Every structure is written in structure tokens, then in C-alpha cells.
Amino acid sequence: MPQSPLNSAANAPLIAFNKVSKFYGRGEATIRALDKIDLSIMPGEFVSIMGPSGSGKSTAMNIIGGLDEPTSGEYLFQGVPTSSFSRAQRTLLRRHMLGFVFQGFNLLARTSAAENVELPLVYRGMPHKERRGRAIAALAQVGLKGRENHTTQELSGGQQQRVAIARAIVTDPAVLLADEPTGNLDTKTSIEIMELITRLNRENGITVIMVTHEEDIAEYGTRLMRFVDGHLASDEPNVKEASRAV
């Protein structure tokens, strides 16, 4: 396994953008998805990212997740410029430091909850007994004890999202990236999922970065970023969440 380039400087941002831009196309057809964005996120924060379609919020999330690269500027993870990463090191970043939760769950059909949760550990080459134990523990952590052998087709939408969250946290990531995690859920289930994500942030110390278009969902974050036309239009503490947490 290639050596990870990451370090952990004390009191340093976990994630930082330094004049990050992302352009698509050329000439007059150029689309400026992100235009010289500066931001930093400290360990343990819960950041909600909002913005209309085409605002750049999803592009920013893709860069943070190592799924895309800036056209210019620098993305730093734990103080290390990711432009210096090899392909293998980028894979290590995603595999060991990041957990992903998507709107569409992205679970394997006709496969048990435990097997879905085990998948990231399979990629690590972890022995079956160890990864099954960790999968069962992760499912219990998200409230699905006793559902380990149920297939995705036997689970409700909310339960499927819980499986997806268990899969994201089974590797003990530093960051949970949630892209519209309640987009396919009803109001009651959305609240349950957001309370679960909030608990993981507060009790486990996982840094959460969430993209959403719903104001009530965004308010679970302790910090709100709003993107408009490729620019970071505002970045403020969420006073409502701070008062609710007290």
C-alpha cells in the first residue's frame, strides 16, 4: 500500500480552499463553476452548503471528496496540497479519510445490509470476520441492530439511508460528505436521518459537510455556506442550531 501523504497539524484547518477555481469548456463557452473560492473547515464542524442549481456547491463537494480537481488554486487536506497527491494517494484519501452519503443511497440490490456496509472494508483487504464484526457494529450505531441480513429490497427508504450512513462510517472517516441525504425521504424520516447525522457529528467528532437545497435541513449544521454563480456569497455560523444545542 502506498504511504499516505497526510499529516495532522494541531489547530490547522482540516479542509482549505485557496483561490480555487473550476472551469469547464473553452473560450466563450467556458463555464465558471467555481471562481477563486477561499474557505476553511475545522475538524469537528458541521457545515451545510446551499445554493441554487449551477451555483457551484456540488462542484465544491466533488473537489473536497477527491472526485474532481481544481482548474487553478489549491485544495489542502490537513494542510497538505492535494495537487501533490499521486493517483494512489487520492484513492487513499477517499478510502481512509472520507465517507460518502448520497441522495440515492447507492446500495447493492439483493445484497444484505451487512454486505453493503462491508464493501469499503473489502477494498481495504480486511479479513471477512473482522469486516463483518465492524459492519454489524456500524449498523447497530445507526439503529439497525437485527437488520443485518435484510436485503435492501426488504428495507424502507429511511432504513436504506441508515445502511448507507453505516457504510460511510464503518471506516472511521475524518469527514462525512452528505449530498442531499434526505432528498428521497419524507419529512418524518428526514428528521430521523438528520438527528442521526447530528449525533455522529457531536458524539463521534466526525466532520460533516452536507449539500442541501432545503432550508430546514441546512439548519442542522452549525455553519451555513451559500454559493451563488460560482462564488461563496456568505459563510456564517448557524445561530439557530447553536441555540438548539445549548
User: CB–CB of 20/37 below 8 Å?
Assistant: yes
| Contact partners, residue 98, CB within 8 Å, separation at least 6 | 65, 66, 173, 174, 175, 176, 177
Residue 124 scores a pLDDT above 90:
no
On whether residue 174 sits in a domain, the answer given is yes
pLDDT of residue 5: 47
On whether residue 27 sits in a domain, the answer given is no
pLDDT of residue 4: 46
pLDDT of residue 159: 95
**3-class DSSP assignment, residue 101:** strand
On whether residue 90 sits in a domain, the answer given is yes
pLDDT tens for 90-99 read: 888 998 999 9
What's the whole-number mean pLDDT along residues 98-110?
Answer: 90
Residue 2 scores a pLDDT above 90:
no
Residue 110: domain span? 42-67+86-245
What's the whole-number mean pLDDT along residues 190-197?
Answer: 96
On whether residue 188 sits in a domain, the answer given is yes
pTM over 0.85: yes
User: CB–CB of 237/205 below 8 Å?
Assistant: no
Residue 152 scores a pLDDT above 70:
yes
Q: What's the CATH number where 121 sits?
A: 3.40.50.300
Give the whole-angstrom CA distance, residue 66 versus residue 68: 6
On whether residue 8 sits in a domain, the answer given is no
pLDDT of residue 103: 86
pLDDT band (50, 70, 90) for residue 196: very high
On whether residue 6 sits in a domain, the answer given is no
Domain total in the chain: 1
What percentage of the chain reaches a pLDDT higher than 90?
77
What's the whole-number mean pLDDT along residues 60-66?
Answer: 95
pLDDT tens for 153-179 read: 999 999 999 999 999 999 999 999 999
Residue 42 scores a pLDDT above 80:
yes
Residue 114 scores a pLDDT above 70:
yes
When the pLDDT of each residue in the chain is averaged and rounded to a whole number, the result is 91
Q: What is the DSSP string of 135-153?
A: HHHHHHHTT-TT-TT-BGG
pLDDT of residue 239: 77
On whether residue 14 sits in a domain, the answer given is no
Question: Taking the CA atoms of the chain, what radius of gyration do you get in angstroms?
Answer: 18
pLDDT of residue 244: 53
Q: Which of 4-8, 17-21, 84-88 shows the lowest mean pLDDT across its residues?
A: 4-8
Give the whole-angstrom CA distance, residue 89 versus residue 112: 30
On whether residue 7 sits in a domain, the answer given is no
pLDDT band (50, 70, 90) for residue 193: very high
